[in-house]
Each structure stands twice: as C-alpha cells, then as structure tokens.
A and B are shown apart, each in its own frame.
Chain A
Amino acid sequence: MTDRAVAVVRAGALTTVQDLGRTGYAHLGVPRSGALDPGAARLVNRLVGNPEGAAVLETTVDGCAVRPRCAVTVAVGGAPCPVAVDGRPVAWGTAVRVGAGALFEVGTAVRGLRAYVGFGGGIAVDPVLGSRSTDLLSGLGPAPLADGAVLPLGVESGVRGPVDAPPWPGPPDELVLRVRLGPRDGWFTREALHTLATRAYRVSPAGNRIGLRTEGPALERALPGELPSEGMVLGAVQVPPDGRPVVFLADHPTTGGYPVVAVVREADLAAAAQAVPGTPVRFVPLR
C-alpha cells in the first residue's frame, strides 16, 4: 500500500466518509447520502486545497483520531471542537500541516454534533455509483470507520483557496425550519397544520443520518388508511402513525408510505444536522 493514507486510531461513535452524495439513482432505490452539513464539508475542502466534492470524514459527537502515514494538510470544521496534534492543541477551522506518523485528534464537539475533517487530496476510497459516501440505509460506500482501518488519500493539489474568515454559522440554540406545506398536507386536520406551525417541538435523541426525529404534539390525520408508497425528497417532513414529524436527511429512503405534511428548505438542513437532542424546533410555513 502506498504511504498516502491515514490509519484510524480512534473511530469515534460514528465516523463516516462523505462527499456531496450520489444523485441520479433514486429510481433504483439508492439514497442520495452525502455530508449532512454540506457547507462545512465544502469549506474544509477549500481550506486544504481540494475540489469541494472531495471526500472528507464526518464525525458524530465525539470526534475521532487518525495517524497519517505521510505529511498532509488537514482542516476541521462543522461542529466546533478541540483539535490536537501529538497532544498539542492546534487551531480549529483552519488548515494545519500534520507530519507523517503524528497523531491527529478531533475531540468532542463543544456545540453541535458533526465535525468534518478534510485532508489534502481527499479520502480516496473507490467511488460507488459516482460517490465515496457511506450510505447507512442501504450499505453502499465504505463501512463506517473502525479502529485500525486504513484509508487511502489522494494527491494534494498544493493550491489552497483564498479563505480568510470562513463563515461558520454556529449550531443553533433554536432550530428554525422553514417549510413549504405539502404534498400531503391534505391528509391532516386543520388543527394539525396549526399545531405544526405554532407549537414547539424538540430534537429527539433517536435521530440519525436518515432522519431528524422530533418530540412534541402529535399531528392528527384527517384521512384514514394507507398512502400508496411514493417518492421522497430531502427535507420531507414525514409523519408516521405516532404523529411526530420526522425530517428526512441525506440517507433517507427514496420511497415511503407515510404522508409528507411539508418539506424543509434545503438551506435549513445543515442546522438540522447540527442540532443536539433537546434543541427546540419551530416549523415555519412559507407562503
């Protein structure tokens, strides 16, 4: 094996390889996948001189630690967290040169959930259907990181983009999700739609890369019975029989049978990916 690689020392709670996802295969049942906070993934790539679609690591809550086998430029973004090289703190949100054999540690998120680790040259696992993303729903792409795994790196460009003051929107104290009602808002009572628009929900700890689950008042259906399975989009607010809205994230199934009451604007989903359990959620319908 080439020495352009990183060895995983501590995989963390859930660390996956992500790029901007695989599109064009939903009709075959393939989720889009990709970084849940794509702005953060793009930015760490710019910081290390990669094209924005290069594969990065996406950590969950407690970071990860890796040991590059070669000198490499690394940047961490997304959820703010401590970063260290061989035990010495280094800057978060900026490019750092890490020597061959050094221990590069991403600590537990101080705020938010998911940190992104970009390496010069990107993670160079073989793409599947045009993407290197791990898809947890259908098991496509590389397996989630495990201690001892070795990931290949691509060749560094040596050219870093001009990024002086990266705009990092902090993880939200309150998650405001702007939605467009439909396509199945007609399956719910008027009271339910009023509830969705006015009452407070909270981020449930049961969420994952497939969906952000919420806790709060149940939405009552106006129509009984089952909806035939239909295509689902990113950001769809699906309402299962318990009445608690689930916001579909990157690994969502491509078809589903529960009615979608509304769809969250794509621009608001990065904040959803960073909202810790217990964060208040407001759904704001747009005209």
Chain B
Amino acid sequence: MKARRVFRVGERALLVELGSGTETEAFHAELLRRRAGGALPAVREIVPAARTVLLDGVDAPNLLAGQLREWTIPPLHARVERAVEVPVRYDGPDLAEVAALWGVSVETAVRIHAATEFRVAFCGFAPGFGYLTGLGEQYQVPRRATPRTAVPAGSVALAGPYTGVYPRSSPGGWQLIGSTDVVLWDAAREPAALLTPGARVRFVVESVERR
C-alpha cells in the first residue's frame, strides 16, 4: 500500500493523497465520522476527489497534518441507507459504441450497467454532478475525441472509471448511454444535490432504445 501523503495547500488547507480510490473513499468516510463525533478541529470544506481529500479552512494546518498522517483508517463498510434509484431510458447516442467497446450486445451492456451498485466517489464539474464508481476495470471507456458542445440535462454518461449524470445542459466529452428525468440539483431542496459523496446509487432500466 502506498503511504498516505499530506501536503500543505496555501495558508489554511491540507491535501491528503491516498493510494487508491477505495482508500480515498475510506479516508473521506473516516473524516466525516470524526467530524460528526466532534473529534475533528473545525474545517470549512472537506472535498473528496479521485485520489485525494482536500481540507480547507483549517486553523492549525501543521498540527492537523501530523494527526492525519497517524490515523488508522478502518476499511469502508457498506452503508446502511438505501441506494438512490435513478430510472434510466437507455437511449443515448453512444450506447451502441459503448457496447461495442465492451464487446457485448446493447442489451447486455444495459444489463451490466443497471446491475452495478455505484457509489458517489466525489462531486465537481457542476453543482450536483457526482463521479460514480463501481463498474469493473474492463468497462472503462475513453472520453469522446471531440466533446459535444451541449449535452442535455439528465444525460447518463460514462468516461474512464466513472459514470455520471449531467445536472444541467453543458458541454461534455463523456459517452452518453441514456437519460433520466430525476432532478439532480435543486437549490431549494435539502440536500440540494441528489447524489452526495459516499451515497450508493442504482440505475433502474425504464426502457432500452437503439439509436
């Protein structure tokens, strides 16, 4: 296992670098657990990402950095709450291409995606956009060579090890496999984001439509 590294970031932040995505998720879960239990000094933002967790707005960063290096992190255990269910019309313009990259039929590709239990590894790109992990390594697909200038809101997409759902129309280079009507982001809702870091997610087949 690669050693955990802790970097100072400016005057008031720390970046903790972990050896893998799974370790990162476990470390993030431990941070939240300790914060909820009052065992973490005040931190304004805790931002998990692919291999790192950023702690911003820390009063004594050097002191905390020393502690973070020493922590023993329990393995990630299954969360007890129900998975968020996202009904999907598998009708994306890149669905056939993704199935071909996987070497399976469109129907099988849909079955694989909908049978996977995903987890929100981290958020970013736009409010409410979650990077979902869970697909096996053999199902990684490259980004499109030329990004689309406008991806419709609700598009379900794949790139690298991640699945994501676009909360609003935006440019994007991911492979589009389907669409959903669920509202990913509503600032008037608590929480505003449907998919928050650490949440479990399942995609439910509403229909399959070749394009």
Q: Which residues of A are at the interface with B, using a C-beta cutoff of 8 A?
A: 23-30, 128-129, 138-140, 180, 182-183, 228-233, 235-236, 253-255, 260, 263-266
A178 to B11, CA, bound (A): 11
A27 touching B127 in the complex, CB below 8 Å, given contacts A183-B8, A235-B10, A266-B11: no
Residues of B within 8 A of A231 (CB): 15, 45, 47-49, 52-54, 56
Is there an interface contact between B56 and A255, defined as CB atoms closer than 8 Å? no
> Chain A contact residues: over half helix, strand or loop, or mixed?
loop
Which residues of A sit under 8 angstroms from B168, Cβ to Cβ? 139
What 3 pairs between A and B have smallest CB-CB spacing? A231-B54, A263-B10, A231-B47
Query: Is B11 within 8 A of A254, CB to CB?
Result: no
B residues in contact with A253, CB < 8 Å:
124-125
Q: Which of B76-84, B90-98, B190-198 contacts A (4 or more CB under 8 A)?
A: B190-198
> Distance (Å) between the CB of B107 and the closest chain A CB?
33
Residues of A within 8 A of B50 (CB): 228-230
Inside 8 A of A266's CB, which chain B residues have their CB? 10-12
Q: Show the binding face of B for A, using Cβ within 8 Å.
A: 7-13, 15, 44-54, 56-57, 122-129, 131, 168, 187, 191-193, 196-197
Q: Are A230's CB and B51's CB within 8 A?
A: yes
Chain B interface helix/strand/loop/mixed: strand
Beyond the given A183-B15, A230-B52, A231-B15, could you list 13 further A-B residue pairs with CB under 8 A, ordered by the A residue number? A23-B45, A26-B54, A27-B45, A27-B46, A27-B197, A28-B127, A29-B126, A29-B127, A230-B54, A254-B47, A254-B124, A255-B124, A263-B13
Beta-carbon contact of B10 and A28 below 8 Å:
no
* Contact status A180-B46, CB under 8 Å: no
Q: Are B7 and A183 in contact (CB under 8 A)?
A: yes
23 pairs across A/B with beta carbons < 8 Å?
A23-B44, A27-B196, A28-B127, A28-B192, A29-B125, A139-B168, A183-B7, A183-B15, A228-B50, A228-B52, A230-B15, A230-B49, A230-B50, A230-B51, A231-B45, A231-B47, A233-B54, A253-B124, A253-B125, A254-B124, A255-B125, A263-B10, A266-B10
Could you say which of B15, B56, B57, B123 contacts A28, with CB atoms under 8 Å apart?
A: B123
